[in-house]
Amino acid sequence: MKKIDKVLEAIETSVIVVTFIGMIICVTLQICVRYMQLPALYWTEELARYCMIYCVFFAVSSGFKTGAHIGVDALLLALPNRISKWVALFSKCVLLILCILLAKFSFDYVLMSRAGVLLSPTLKFPLYYIYIAISFGFVFSAIRICLNTIEYWNKEIVSNPFKEV
């Protein structure tokens, strides 16, 4: 489990850092070109947008590791601890199923767009290269949620099932 976590973290961090730096370079280049009143570089806006898409969908997965996503825990706080553990576990399982379904649907969309060969307006490369970021984001999120659920199961349910805190 730790090995999978480290591999995911390395991939996520690499993609996030590279795409964020790429986005900063593109936007800075566009600002400099506009400031110097040179002919516009149309490709920088599109490339920055695609870098942001990759950055966001890989950061979603990273957010599941750190617990950065928001959640409403009013119900969990109102329930007794024994029941709230099971409700939290159930919500993790529902979230896992949702991510798996979204990954499947996004892969289907990538395959469909690959068949139609949609091209980006300015850069003229296939858009399925952009759409695949959504699929990777949900697959990595599903793996993260699965790891979190296993860890929660071992820590909260198996090790101390009757603990009332």
pLDDT by residue (tens digit) across 1-56? 789 989 999 999 999 999 999 999 999 999 999 888 888 888 999 999 999 999 99
Residue 134 inside a domain? The answer is yes
Residue 52 inside a domain? The answer is yes
* Alpha-carbon dihedral 147, 153, 155, 160, rounded to 10 degrees: 180
- Specify the number of domains making up the chain: 1
Question: 152 or 161: which carries more pLDDT confidence?
Answer: 152
Q: Residue 55 and residue 61: Cα distance in Å, rounded? A: 10
Question: 98 or 84: which carries more pLDDT confidence?
Answer: 98
Question: Which residues, in sequence order, are CB contacts of 77 under 8 Å at separation 6+?
Answer: 84
Residue 14 inside a domain? The answer is yes
Question: Which residues, in sequence order, are CB contacts of 102 under 8 Å at separation 6+?
Answer: 138
Residue 88 inside a domain? The answer is yes
Residue 17 domain boundaries: 2-158
Residue 140 inside a domain? The answer is yes
Residue 164 inside a domain? The answer is no
pLDDT of residue 163: 57
Structure tokens at 140: 């990595």
Q: Residue 103 and residue 46: Cα distance in Å, rounded? A: 24
Residue 163 inside a domain? The answer is no
Residue 87 inside a domain? The answer is yes
Structure tokens at 106: 């996004």
